[in-house]
Amino acid sequence: MKVLFMTGSHPRHAYMARCLEKAGVLSALVIEKREAHVPSPPEGLSAELSELFVHHFQKRQEAESKFFSDAKLPEVETFDVTKESLNSPETQAFIRKINPDILMSYGVHILTDETLNAAKKQKWNIHGGLSPWYRGTITHFWPSYMLQPQMTGMTMHNLTQEVDGGAIVHQSVAELVSGDGLHDLACRAVMSLGEELPKVFEAVKSLDDVKKFPQRTTGRLWLNRDWRPEHLKLIYQTYNDKVVDHYLKGDLHNRKPKLNRQF
């Protein structure tokens, strides 16, 4: 089975590419250059919120450096793009040249119909969130904000124009470890799926073997505009980035996610 992986340029993306290589399916890469790992605070924030904003993204950088420090991109044929050139004719020509069994995306911007149609077989997306409850953006933040850290996970699903709404191929959840902050939990979610990818592809030796699980409820689609720096106060001031510890101690409601899996 031949996978063309379209992904971002952050450490977690390189880690997932390595996991596909370990599964023996990675054929080529399209790498989108992503934004700075620690962005500048938006203009107009108070000094308190600016400090929280920088602290939040520095914690993300520290966590990814800790969990994915040795994640280097595999040495396969690679095509580099930006957000603006992601859906260019040149990208589409590269996809047609590789002619993958599966075009898989993770951490890139929305792919147009023209780009998707360049791949003639299966199209899957890796989504950092459990669909249908956490579809859309920033979906490793919202479970902890909603005091549901156990709902932090990953979904691999059919890639369609409906955001994170295609039939599910496989899901996994993060291990809950005492002392972990929000970004540690997010990294463990990425690792959970990465570690399972070899088993997933062992279970689906051909595309005919793939089990698909339609999403039967709309769940919740989280948008970029839903998030504000003020949300950081609950994580870092109210809970001191210890939502996981509160859950493990039994302080929070114990709702178990129902997962769709290949094995």
Are 241 and 150 within 8 A, CB to CB? no
Enumerate domains of the chain plus CATH numbers: 3-248 (3.40.50.12230)
**pLDDT reported for residue 165:** 74
pLDDT band at 6 (very low <50, low <70, confident <90, very high): very high
161: which 2 tokens?
């124009």
**pLDDT reported for residue 61:** 94
**pLDDT reported for residue 71:** 80
Does residue 164 carry a pLDDT above 90?
Answer: no
Q: How far apart are CA 191 and CA 149, in angstroms?
A: 16
Residue by residue, what is the 3-state secondary structure of 23-88? Answer: CCCEEEEEEECCCCCCCCCCCCCCHHHHHHHHHHHHHHHHHHHHHCCCCCCCCCEEEEECCCCCCC
**pLDDT reported for residue 14:** 96
Angle between helix 11-22 and 182-203 (nearest 10): 20
Does residue 195 carry a pLDDT above 80?
Answer: yes
The DSSP call for residue 143 is: H
Q: Cα dihedral angle (63, 67, 72, 78), rounded to 10 degrees? A: -70
**pLDDT reported for residue 49:** 97
166: which 2 tokens?
């295609």
**pLDDT reported for residue 219:** 83
Q: How far apart are CA 164 and CA 148, in angstroms?
A: 20
Could you tell me how far CA 103 lies from the centroid of its own chain?
A: 16
What pTM did the predictor assign?
0.93
164: which 2 tokens?
């994170």
Residues counted in the chain = 263
Average pLDDT of 121-129?
95
Q: What phi and psi, each to the nearest 5 degrees, are found at residue 127?
A: -115, 130
Does residue 141 carry a pLDDT above 90?
Answer: yes
The pairing of strands 153-158 and 168-173 is antiparallel
Q: How far apart are the first and last CA of the chain?
A: 18
Question: What is the percent of the chain with per-residue pLDDT over 90, rounded to a whole number?
Answer: 87
Q: Please report, as a single letter, which amino acid is at residue 86.
A: L
Residue 263's contacts (CB-CB under 8 Å, 6 or more residues apart) are: 199, 200, 203
Predicted confidence (pLDDT) per residue in 206-241, tens digit: 888 899 999 887 788 999 899 999 999 999 999 999
Predicted confidence (pLDDT) per residue in 52-61, tens digit: 999 999 999 9
Does residue 243 carry a pLDDT above 90?
Answer: yes
Average pLDDT of 137-157?
97
Average pLDDT of 151-160?
94
Does residue 162 carry a pLDDT above 80?
Answer: no
Does residue 163 carry a pLDDT above 90?
Answer: no
Mean pLDDT (the chain, rounded): 94
Predicted confidence (pLDDT) per residue in 173-188, tens digit: 999 999 999 999 999 9
